[in-house]
Amino acid sequence: MKRIALLGMPNTGKSTFFNRLTGACARIGNWPGITVDLLGAKILLGADMVEVVDLPGLYDLHGFAEDEQIVWRFLHNNPVDLICLILNAAQIDQQLPLALQLRRLELPTVVVLNMADEAERLGIRFDAAMLAAGLNCPVCFISAKYGQGFPETRETLRRVLSERPPTRTAALAAEFAEDEALVAEAEQLVARAVTMPRVLEHGLTERIDRIVLHPLFGIPLFFLAMYLLFQTVYALGGPLQNGVAWLLEGFRTQALVLFQPLLPGWLYGLLVEGVYNGVGTVASFVPVIVLFFLGVALVEDSGYLSRIAFLMDALMAKLGLDGRGFVMLLMGFGCNVPAMMGTRVIRSRGLRLLTLLIIPFSLCSARLQVFVFLSTALFSTTQAPLVLLALYAISFLVAFGTALLFKGRLHSHEPLLIELPPYRLPTFKQVVLRGWHEVHHFLNRATRFIVAGVVMIWLLTHLPPGVPAGGPETLAGLFGGWLEPILRPMGIDQQMAVVLLFGFVAKEIVLGAMAVVYGLDGDALAQLMTQRMDGVQAFSFMLFTLIYTPCLSTVATMRSESKSLAFTGVSIFWSLLLAWLLSFLFYQGARLLGY
C-alpha cells in the first residue's frame, strides 16, 4: 500500500485537510501543537488503497521537540511515497524555507497552499507556475476548512502518486544545505512569485486583540469569560441532565421492571441495579459534558488560547512554568490525557516534567460530573455554582502551589515565542464533529471502565452470598473497613471509601459506584446523599476527588510521557498526600469552627 505523509508547520491546517481527505475526525484547533501523535487512515485514491498519515507540525527538519522528533522518526522508519506539504498561504514568506528543506529529501512532493481564503482576504496573490518551477513540484491552492480547491488537490495527489516511481527513504541521509542559503532562496522565490500588499490588513484580529490583550484588563477579562462559560454550561446543562435522568428512570420503572419476574433475583439486581443504574447515572451527564466541550472547542478554535498563553506567560514564569503550561492546564479541563500529551511541544525536559506534574490537578470533565451531582444535591441553587467555582479555583491553586514547590528541582529556561494566529470562527461541522467525538470518547470509556467498574462494585457489595447487600459484612464493607481509619478524619465513611477506591481507576466510575453502593439512581440517590452526608463532608469528599490521582489513563500517560517510573511514582504519591492533607485540614477546620 502506498503512503502519503502530511507535513507542515504547526497550525497550518494539516488535520483539517486530513479530515476532509479521509473523512476522519482528528482533533483540530487554532493552536500550534494540537496534533502530537501520528494518525493514519486508509482511503481509495483512484484505483489504489492509500494510507494517509497526519503528523504533528514541525518548524524545521532539525527540530528536537518531542513532537518534531515523532515526525523525524516516522520519516526514518517508514517508507513514504508522497509528501503532501501543507503551508499557510497567508504566511508563505515564513513557510517556504521548510518547503525548500524538504526538497532535499528527494521524495515526490505536492505543496498545498492552504488557507487560500485568508490569503485572498489579505490581498496576497500568487504566480502558481513560478512557485511550482521554483519548488520543482506541483503546487495547489486550497481552503481545507471550506473546501475550495479540494477536488483538484485530491486529483493532483492521485496523479503524482501514480506517476512517480517511489524513491524510498534512502535519500533521507542527504545533507541539508545551510539554513541561511535556504532562507535567501525562499525570499527570492517569494519576491518573484508572490505579490503581497504593503501592509497586511488583519483589521478585526487587531481590534479584538487591543481589548483581550490589554495589559490591565486582559487577565480579568479572561477569568470573566471562563466564569460566563461555566455559568452557561451549568444553566443549560442542568435541565438537560434532569431530562435525561428522568427518561432513564422512566424506562427502568416502566419497561425494565417487566423483566423482574422473568429473571433470577441476583441477575436482575446485577443488570438493573448494577449496570443500568450505574451507567445511567453517568450517562445522564453526557449533555453537560457535550455542552462543556462545545465551549472548550470554541475557545480552542477561535485562537483565544494563544492569547491566554501570551497573557499568562509572565505570571507563569514566576512559577517556573510558561504560558503554554497554563494553556495545557486549561486543556486539562476537558481531559487530562491529551493535555499531558500536548506537553510534547515543550523542548526543555525540566519545564515539560513540571507541566506534566501539575496537569492532573486540572478539574477534568469526569470530575465535573461528580461535582455537579453532589453540589446540586447538597447545596442550594445559589450555593451550588459557587461551590463549583471554588473547586475550579482550588484546582488552579493546587497546580500552582505544586509548581512553586517543585520548580527548584525541575526548573529550566526555554524562551517562549508564541505565535498569535488570526481569530477564526469554527464551522458548524467542526463543532458538531467535536461534540460527537466527546460522546464517542465517553461511550468508549463507558464500555472499558464504567461497566466493568460497576459490575465489580455490585459484586463486592453483594458478596459473600447471604449477607445484607451493602452492609459491613460484604467484601466492600471489608475493604471500606480497612480504609476507614485513613479516611474517617476527613469525614468520609466506609461506603464512600469504597467509591474512592474505584475512583482511582476512572472518575467516571465514582457516580456509577455511588449508585450501585446505595442501589439507587438519579433523584433518589441525590435524596439519600443529603441524609448520608452534610455540606462539610460533601465538600471534603469533593476536595479529595479533585486532588487525588485522576485515573489509570493519566498514570499510564504520565509514565509514557515522562519516561520515568520514579517521576510517575512521585506524582501519584504527592497527589494522594496532598488530597489527604487538604481534605483533612478542611474537614477538621470546619468542624472546629462549628459547621
Ligand X SMILES: Nc1nc2c(ncn2[C@@H]2O[C@H](COP(=O)(O)OP(=O)(O)OP(=O)(O)O)[C@@H](O)[C@H]2O)c(=O)[nH]1
Using CB under 6 A, which of the segments 9-17, 69-77, 412-420, 542-550 binds ligand X? 9-17
CB nearer to ligand X: give 13 or 108: 13
For the segment 186-225, give every residue that binds Mg ion (CB under 5 A). none
Q: Say whether residue 124 binds ligand X (CB under 6 A).
A: no
Figure out which of the listed residues 19, 35, 557, 583 binds Mg ion, where binding follows CB under 5 A: 35
Q: Say whether residue 274 binds ligand X (CB under 6 A).
A: no
Figure out which of the listed residues 22, 91, 101, 143 binds ligand X, where binding follows CB under 6 A: 143
CA distances from 337 to 121, 141, 552, 561 (A): 37, 35, 10, 10
CB 336 within 8 A of CB 554: yes
DSSP 124: -
CB nearer to Mg ion: give 13 or 134: 13
For the segment 98-117, give every residue that binds ligand X (CB under 6 A). 114-115, 117
Q: Grid coordinates standing for 144?
A: 481545507
Residue 108 DSSP SS3: coil
Q: Say whether residue 10 binds ligand X (CB under 6 A).
A: yes
144: Cβ contacts below 8 Å, ≥ 6 apart: 13, 16, 17, 20, 86, 114, 115, 150
Tell me the chain's radius of gyration from C-alpha atoms. Answer: 27
Q: Say whether residue 22 binds ligand X (CB under 6 A).
A: no
The number of residues making up the chain comes to: 595
Figure out which of the listed residues 34, 80, 368, 403 binds ligand X, where binding follows CB under 6 A: 34
Q: Say whether residue 323 binds ligand X (CB under 6 A).
A: no
CB nearer to ligand X: give 53 or 487: 53
Question: 10 Å Cβ neighbour count for 591?
Answer: 13
CB nearer to Mg ion: give 10 or 512: 10
- Work out how close the CB of 27 gets to ligand X at its nearest, in angstroms, rounded to a whole number: 7
Q: Say whether residue 14 binds ligand X (CB under 6 A).
A: yes
Q: Say whether residue 342 binds ligand X (CB under 6 A).
A: no
> Which residues are 58's β-sheet partners?
none
CB nearer to ligand X: give 65 or 517: 65
Buried/exposed code over 223-250 (b: 16+ C-beta within 10 A; e: otherwise): eeebeebbeebbeebbebbeebbeebbe
Which of Mg ion, ligand X, none lies near 156, with the C-beta cut-off 5 to 8 A by kind? none
CB nearer to Mg ion: give 15 or 114: 15
Q: Say whether residue 114 binds Mg ion (CB under 5 A).
A: no
CA distances from 203 to 214, 311, 564, 591 (A): 17, 21, 47, 57
Residue type, 376: T
By CB under 5 A, name the binding residues for Mg ion: 14-15, 34-35
By CB under 6 A, name the binding residues for ligand X: 8, 10-16, 28-30, 32-35, 56-57, 114-115, 117-118, 143-145, 301, 424
